[in-house]
Amino acid sequence: MKSTYKKVASSNISISELMLPSHANFSGKIHGGYILSLLDQIAFACASKFSGNYCVTASVDTVDFLNPIEVGELVTMKASVNYVGKSSMIVGIRVESENIQTGLVKHCNSSYFTMVSKDKDGANAMVPGLILSTLEEVRRFENCLNQIALKKEKKREKEMYNFCSEETINRLEKHNVLIQLD
């Protein structure tokens, strides 16, 4: 049983940054890799703020690029802890861009990072329990439980699956693939 609990709101963090030409890819849109770097930074800040410890990224569970971000737009990332385990947390991040001339705001990205709290010796450290104060926070927590269950099931299936069976090879050959085993 956890001895301390914190509200989701205690983990809330946001950052805003103006997108510069140096952040653009060859098509003139903001490079996805740059956005991923910012996502990792805010996930770290959010998890560390909530846990009170140094945190590391265990997995990037979902990154959905929904709309492109243009040079000159103001990007705002909002993060919160949606789920806690013993030493892990799932941080949800919403990315919006704003055209500073027109005021138009668009939802550009939704992401989920699993972060692990570490003590000063690098061992996993216990995180506070989570106080859910709104139905939206309950929905997000429940969504995380479902995602964790799906992740475990996928891992189990992968461990049991025979990638080299004749049945698998026959099924794969129906796709746009040529199998030439040496």
The answer to the question of residue 177 being in a domain is: no
**What band does 127 get if pLDDT is binned at 50, 70 and 90?**
very high
Q: In this structure, is residue 179 part of a structural domain? A: no
- Is residue 107 over pLDDT 60? yes
- 178 in a structural domain: no
Q: Which residues contact 19 (CB under 8 A, 6 or more apart)?
A: 30, 69, 70, 71, 72, 73, 74, 75, 97
Is the distance from CB of 107 to CB of 94 less than 8 angstroms?
yes
DSSP conformational letter for 73:
P
Burial annotation 108-122 (CB, 10 A radius, 16+ → b, else e): bbebbbbbbbbeeee
137-146, long-range: CB < 8 A, 24+ apart:
137/8, 137/82, 140/82, 140/83, 140/92, 141/82, 141/83, 143/82, 144/82, 144/83, 144/90, 144/112, 145/83
- Domain for residue 154, yes or no? yes
pLDDT at 47 over 70: yes
pLDDT of residue 90: 98
**Mean of pLDDT values over 10-31:** 96
Give me the amino acid identity at 74: L
The conformational region for residue 158 under phi > 0 = left, psi -120 to 50 = alpha, else beta, is: alpha
pLDDT at residue 16, as a whole number: 97
Is 143 inside any structural domain? Answer: yes
Structural domain count of the chain? 1
- What residues pair up with 46 in beta bridges, in sequence order? none
112 band by pLDDT with thresholds 50, 70 and 90: very high
What single-letter DSSP state applies at residue 19? Answer: P
The predicted-structure confidence for 60-97, as pLDDT tens digits, reads as follows 999 999 999 999 999 999 999 999 999 999 999 999 99
Whether 1 has a pLDDT exceeding 70, the answer reads no
User: Is 19 inside a domain boundary?
Assistant: yes
At residue 100 the predicted structure's pLDDT band, cuts being 50, 70 and 90, is very high
Residue 159: pLDDT above 80?
A: no
Confidence of residue 124 (pLDDT cuts 50, 70, 90): very high
Cα torsion 32, 34, 39, 44 to 10°: value is 150
Q: Is residue 107 part of a domain?
A: yes
Residue 56 region by backbone torsions, left for phi larger than 0, else alpha for psi between -120 and 50, else beta: beta
The answer to whether 114 and 57 are in contact (CB under 8 A) is: yes
Assess if residue 28 is contained within a domain: yes
Residue 71 has φ and ψ, to the nearest 5°, of -60, 135
3-class secondary structure, 93: strand
Percent residues over pLDDT 70 in the chain: 98
Q: How high is the pLDDT of residue 154?
A: 87
User: pLDDT value at position 172?
Assistant: 81
User: Residue 47 sits in which domain range?
Assistant: 5-172
Query: What pLDDT is attached to residue 2?
Result: 66
Residue 3 has pLDDT above 90, yes or no: no
- CATH number for the domain spanning 59: value is 3.10.129.10
